[in-house]
Amino acid sequence: MIHSTRFTCVLDTCVVYPIDIRDLLLWFAHFDLYRPKWSQTIFDELYTVMIKKGMPDEKAKEQIQRINAAFPDALVNNYEELIATLCLPDKRDCHVLAAAIKSDANLIVTNNLKDFDNEYLSRFGLCAKNADDFITDTIDLNTELAKEAFTTMVAHRSNPSLDEYQVLDILRNRGLINSANYLHSLI
């Protein structure tokens, strides 16, 4: 079994919303395929997106609370002072890099790669990958455990209850084409 919970990733807001990508990422973390990290700022952004998408206030707060409760060591603190020292194309993304530096992360998982230049990130021992590449790499490192995480996620899914192939289609529609195809080849 090849995997390491020492491999730490900061999950940007754009990969924790939509819910389908978040679920797969969090089930992989639950199965110790990697260790997730995030900041309060990332979850403040998540809350704002949920509200803009029409989610009731209490439900949005409850979902964020449940995520934090499931991974109590994931919340990065005391990263704020680093933000002003960082230089990214979009200054509003510096909090993500600051959280990654503070948590000694290996990777930033974001679908907003244009604002996370890997040459600049390498100065901090970091790089960025999109969710599809990260998930595909994670599956490749431990196919059996990744398959188990995926099938467990599907089994726990309700409202609506879907089979593995339906969930894979949803993941493809969310941009996880390579990940979904890889998982499809395993079932």
Token output for 53: 């998408």
Could you tell me the sign of the dihedral formed by the alpha carbons of 11, 14, 17, 20, in that order? negative
User: What's the domain range around 140?
Assistant: 8-186
**3 found inside a domain:** no
167 within domain boundaries: yes
Residue 56 lies in a domain: yes
pTM for the model stands at 0.93
93 is a domain residue? yes
Burial per residue of 157-169, b for 16 or more beta-carbon CB atoms within 10 angstroms, e otherwise: beeeeeebeebbe
Q: How many folded domains does the chain comprise?
A: 1
Q: pLDDT of 26-76, one tens digit each?
A: 999 999 999 999 999 999 999 999 999 999 999 999 999 999 999 999 999
Instruction: Say if CB 36 and CB 11 are below 8 A apart.
Output: yes
Within the chain, which residues score under 50 in pLDDT? 1-3
Q: What is the pLDDT of residue 40?
A: 95
In Å, how far are 21, 80, 118, 136, 165 from 97, measured between CA atoms?
A: 21, 10, 11, 23, 35
Q: What pLDDT, on a 0 to 100 scale, did the predictor assign at position 1? A: 42
Whether residue 44 lies inside any domain: the answer is yes
Q: Residue 163 and residue 88: Cα distance in Å, rounded?
A: 41
Any domain includes 2: no
Maximal C-alpha separation, the chain: 47
- Of the candidates 22, 28, 20, the one whose C-alpha atom is nearest the C-alpha of residue 4 is 28
| Inside any domain, residue 1 | no
Q: Flag whether 30 is in a domain.
A: yes
CATH code (residue 93): 3.40.50.1010
